[in-house]
Amino acid sequence: MRRILAALLVSALATSAVQAQVAAPPQPIQAPQVNQGPPFNPNIIIAPERENGLYAVGEKVTWTVRAPLGMPTSRYTYEVRENNLAVLSSGALDLSSGATTVTGALSRPGMISLVLRPVPPATGNPPNVTAISQAAMSAAAAVGIRDIRGPARPADFRQFWDAKLAALRAVPMNPRLTVVESENPGVSLSMVALDALNSTTQGYLAIPRNGSGRYPALVIFQYAGVYALQKETSVARAAEGWLALNITSHDMRPDQNTAPNNYAGLGNTDRETSYFLNMYLRDVRAIEYIRSHPNWDGRTVVIMGTSMGGQQSFAVAGLVPDQINAMIVNVPSGTNIAGAVNGARGGYPNWNAMADPKVAATAPYFDAMNFAPDITATAIVAPGFLDVTSPPYGIIAAFNAIGGPKEMIAMVDSDHNHITPQKQDGWYVRSRAALEELRTTGRLTLNPDWDRAR
C-alpha cells in the first residue's frame, strides 16, 4: 500500500482523541535530535511489490522508493533489518532521479523491514525526525508469517501462575459500588472496587437501564500510562447493550491518576515483585466479578484492549481460559519482553533484559507470548508491521501460539495506533463488526484465510 505523508498530516496527527484507541508514547527509533524545529516531512513514497506484505521464506522482498523531482531532501541512508534488530544490509539512496529500489530476503520466518533516514545537510541543524515522519520512511513485511514463533516458556510457568490464582481465589471479592452520573439516561454507571491479592481492582461498571436485564459482558483493559478513565468508554458500550466494565490498570480509583509513573519497570528483577503480577491478578478478579453479576447473560464474556490493554487481555485469556469467549486486541504490548535476548527488537514495557540477567529471567513470566498457548477463546489480533512500541515479531509469535480459533488483522503500513491512526482502518472496521456479532449472537465468525489474498 502506498504511503504519502504530506506536511499537513505530519502536524495533524501528533495528538489522539479517543481514550480507547490511544497508547503511551513509544520509544523513538533514533536518538533525539538537537534540532527542535518543525517535524521533518519526507514527502516520499515507499511502494511494496506485494501490498499485503506477506512472503515465503527465501522470497525476495522488493520496495520501490520514490520522491517528487526537485524536493529539497533527496539523499537518504537505509537499513534492511531482520526483526527490526539485526542489520542485513545498508547503504545510501539518491532520489534526485525520482526512484530506486531496495531488496532483501530472510532465510527463516520473521519480520523484514526497511528504515530510511535523511542525510543531514552539510551546514545547519539536522532534520527533526519525529515518530510520525519516521513511520513514513519505513516499510515492513512478514516472512513465513504462520511459522513465526517465540522461545519456549519456562517449565514452571503454569505452576507459578496456578499458585497465584489459588491465592487470589482465597481473597473474598467484597465488591463495593458507588453510583456516579452517567450522562446517559439509558445507562446506570458505578465505580466498582474489588479486593484482590495485595491490591484492589477498580473501574467503571455500566449497565443498560432498558432491555432484558441480562446482557453479554465486555471487559475493557487499558493502555499504558497513569490517567483517570473516561466514563464514556463504558457508558457508550452499555448503551449498545453490553454489561460493560472498564478497568484501570492500577490500584487506584478510576477517577484518579495517583499510581507511580515509572510503574512498568518496578520490581522487574523478580517474578514475585514485578508490577505486572498484581495487575494481571486484578484483571482476573474483574472477570470473576463480571461473571458473578446478576445482569450478566450467563453466556458471553468478551475482553478487549489496545497496547497494554491487549497485553493484559492475553494474560487474562491464558490464565482463565474457561471464563473468556472472545478476545479482541489491537497492537498488544508485552510480547517478547526480553527483546534482543530472543533475537528480535523488544518494545513496551522496555525492560533491558540484555543488561540484567535477573530481568531476563523475570520477563518470560509476564510475556503475552507465554500466556497464548492456554488461550481457547476466539481471538482477533491486530499487529502493526511498522510498530516499534509493540513490535510485530512478538505479537505474531503470540498469535501463532494461541490455542483457540484466531484471525489476524495485518496492518502492513501501521506504526502504533496513536502514531498512524489513519493506517488502522482495518482494525476499526473489523473490531466493531466483531463486537456487534458477539453482542447479538454470542458467536464470532472468523476468516481462516486472512493471509491468503495476494
| Full DSSP string of 422-453 | GG-HHHHHHHHHHHHHHHHHS-----TTTTT-
Identity at 95, one-letter amino acid code: L
**20 pLDDT above the threshold of 90:** no
Mean pLDDT of 185-204: 97
* DSSP assignment letter at 123: S
**Looking at residue 23, what is its pLDDT?**
37
**185 pLDDT above the threshold of 60:** yes
CATH 3.40.50.1820 assigned to 157-441: yes
**30 pLDDT above the threshold of 70:** no
What topology does CATH give the domain 7-147? Immunoglobulin-like (2.60.40)
Of 266 and 70, more confident: 266
**Residue whose C-alpha is closest to residue 341's, from 151, 156, 153:** 151
Extended strands (E) in 83-131: 86-94, 99-104, 110-118
Domain ranges of the chain: 7-147, 157-441
User: pLDDT tens digits for 140-153?
Assistant: 999 999 999 999 99
Give the three-state DSSP class for 187: strand
**9 pLDDT above the threshold of 80:** no
- Rounded to whole angstroms, how far apart are CA atoms 89 and 440? 51
- Quick one: pLDDT band at residue 14, thresholds 50, 70, 90? very low
User: pLDDT tens digits for 341-375?
Assistant: 999 999 999 999 999 999 999 999 999 999 999 99
Summary mean pLDDT of the chain: 91
Could you tell me the pTM of the whole model?
0.91
What distances in angstroms separate CA 102 from CA 65, 70, 139, 261, 264, one per listed residue?
Answer: 8, 21, 11, 41, 38
**What's the half-sphere exposure (Cβ side, CA atoms, 13 Å) at 165?**
17
End-to-end CA distance of the chain: 12
**Looking at residue 453, what is its pLDDT?**
56
**Looking at residue 36, what is its pLDDT?**
59
**Looking at residue 10, what is its pLDDT?**
33
- Quick one: pLDDT band at residue 423, thresholds 50, 70, 90? very high
% of the chain exceeding 70 in pLDDT: 92
- Same-fold call for 7-147 versus 157-441: no
Mean pLDDT of 185-211: 96
**Residue whose C-alpha is closest to residue 161's, from 262, 306, 280, 30:** 280
User: pLDDT tens digits for 236-265?
Assistant: 999 999 999 999 999 999 999 999 999 999
